[in-house]
């Protein structure tokens, strides 16, 4: 199944309607947003195939680290990984698509939550099956989606789109080729404005502007792409696995909802 931006928008509308109707149970929230994302498809629950790491209680609702790892047995491959925050204004955190036939995929990222919510990770396999796990994350109640941005919006043109990449593998020197998975961390400077934040001087809402697409290549080979929404944190970070295959660089292309495009390349090997 190919997710589209329309799916993100529909999920946005569903939760806004639920919020206006008053308190609802976790199950009714999921029942309302699931059809907008997956229609009536059957989703199998599996904590064995998907490992979701998220804090039980947040330290900062604006920057919440989560991580997902999934490995499929039997020669099946991963078509997509969809991350969802049930009770956020735009529940779909991101749809990650590995570019090649891989049976294992892992991603780490920072998100923001508007309040206590269930986080879901849904994996679609190459045969069309869906598997899901979930975890409840309790927040401090600061309403991060409406929290004023930390970035100086008068100066964002000076920094927006700047990227940094670091190999954060705990040990082992990077060489030209290795079958051992390494971990890279990508940082992207972007205010990721939600449309719910207010200018503290004018008291007017700041228009939404967030990263909606990002693709990572290793040399000429695409590693993965992601379609994302407002739940990614300000100045988002992504952590992912890769294996050195002799490619000299890693390239990242991203775009935001204003149509601005960003591109950076980083050397791989000892210099990374």
Q: Tens of pLDDT along 198-216?
A: 887 788 899 999 999 999 9
pLDDT of residue 4: 44
Q: What is the pLDDT of residues 72-126, one digit of tens each?
A: 998 899 999 999 999 999 999 999 999 888 999 999 999 999 999 999 999 999 9
In 133-172, which positions are buried (b, 16+ CB within 10 angstroms) versus exposed (e)?
A: bbbebebeebebbebebebeeeebeeebbebebebebeee
pLDDT of residue 25: 59
CA atoms of 146 and 234, how far apart (whole Å): 12
Residue spans of alpha helices (H) in the chain: 5-20, 26-38, 156-159
The answer to whether 40 touches 26, Cβ cutoff 8 Å, is no
Residues of the chain with pLDDT under 50: 1-7, 9-24, 271-272
CATH class label, 5-267: mainly beta
Nearest to 58 by CA among 142, 177, 167, 149: 142
The DSSP string of 166-186 is EE--SSS---SB-SS-EEEEE
The answer to whether 72 touches 58, Cβ cutoff 8 Å, is no
- Please, is 259 exposed, middle or buried when counting C-beta atoms within 10 Å of its C-beta (0-12, 13-18, 19+)? exposed
Distances (CA, A) of 135 to 56, 61, 63, 178, 205: 8, 16, 17, 34, 32
CA atoms of 55 and 50, how far apart (whole Å): 16
The DSSP string of 136-152 is EEB--S--GGGSPPSS-
| pTM of this structure | 0.88
CA atoms of 70 and 63, how far apart (whole Å): 23
* Domain layout of the chain by residue ranges: 5-267
CA atoms of 154 and 29, how far apart (whole Å): 38
């Amino acid at each position: 199944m190919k997710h589209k931006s329309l799916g993100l928008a529909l999920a946005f509308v569903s939760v806004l309607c639920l919020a206006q109707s008053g308190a609802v149970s976790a199950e009714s929230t999921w029942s309302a947003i699931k059809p907008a994302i997956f229609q009536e498809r059957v989703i199998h629950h599996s904590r064995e195939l998907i490992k979701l790491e998220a804090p039980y209680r947040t330290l900062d609702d604006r920057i919440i680290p989560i991580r997902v790892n999934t490995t499929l047995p039997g020669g099946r491959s991963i078509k997509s990984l969809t991350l969802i925050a049930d009770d956020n204004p735009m529940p779909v955190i991101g749809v990650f698509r590995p570019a090649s036939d891989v049976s294992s995929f892992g991603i780490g990222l920072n998100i923001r939550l508007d309040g206590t919510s269930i986080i879901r990770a849904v994996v679609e396999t190459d045969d069309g099956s869906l598997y899901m796990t979930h975890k409840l994350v309790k927040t401090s109640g600061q309403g991060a989606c409406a929290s004023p941005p930390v970035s100086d919006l008068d100066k964002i043109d000076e920094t927006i789109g700047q990227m940094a990449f670091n190999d954060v593998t705990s040990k082992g020197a990077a060489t030209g080729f290795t079958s051992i998975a390494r971990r890279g961390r990508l940082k992207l400077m972007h205010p990721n404005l939600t449309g719910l934040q207010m200018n503290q001087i004018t008291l007017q809402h700041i228009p939404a502007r967030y990263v909606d697409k990002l693709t990572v290549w290793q040399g000429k080979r695409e590693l993965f792409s992601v379609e994302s929404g407002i739940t990614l944190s300000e100045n988002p970070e992504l952590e992912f696995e890769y294996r050195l295959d002799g490619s000299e660089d890693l390239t990242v292309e991203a775009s935001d909802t204003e149509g601005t495009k960003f591109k950076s390349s980083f050397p791989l090997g000892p210099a990374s």
